[in-house]
Amino acid sequence: MEIIWIGVLTLLSSIIGTVSGFGISTIMVPVILIFLPLPETLLLVGLIHWFGDIWKMLLFKHGFDKKLLIYFGVPGVLMAILGGLIVVDIPEKLASQLVGLILTSYVIFAALKPKFKLKEKPSTAILGGMSSGFLGGVTGVGGGALRAAILTAFNIPKSTYIFTSGILGALMDAGRISAYIFSGVKIQSSHLWGFLLFIPASFLGAEIAKKMVYKISQKTFKKIIGIFLLLLGLKLLVFP
Q: Quote the mean pLDDT of the chain.
A: 89
- Residue pLDDT, tens place only, 123-141: 999 999 999 888 887 776 7
Instruction: Tell me: pLDDT of 1 over 80.
Output: no
Q: What percent of the chain shows pLDDT beyond 90? A: 52
Is residue 168 within 8 Å of 77, Cβ to Cβ? yes
Rounding to the nearest 10 degrees, give the CA dihedral for residues 191, 193, 195, 196: -150
Residue 179: predicted pLDDT: 83
Instruction: Tell me: pLDDT of 30 over 70.
Output: yes
Instruction: Tell me: pLDDT of 81 over 70.
Output: yes
Is residue 66 within 8 Å of 158, Cβ to Cβ? no
Average pLDDT over residues 206-227: 93
Residue 21: predicted pLDDT: 87
pTM to 2 decimal places:
0.89
The band of 89, judged by pLDDT with boundaries at 50, 70 and 90, is: low
Average pLDDT over residues 76-93: 78
Task: Please indicate whether residue 11 or residue 25 has the higher confidence score (pLDDT).
Answer: 11
Average pLDDT over residues 187-209: 94
Would you list the domain boundaries of the chain?
2-238
Average pLDDT over residues 175-204: 91
Instruction: Tell me: pLDDT of 233 over 60.
Output: yes
Instruction: Tell me: pLDDT of 87 over 60.
Output: no
Residue 140: predicted pLDDT: 67
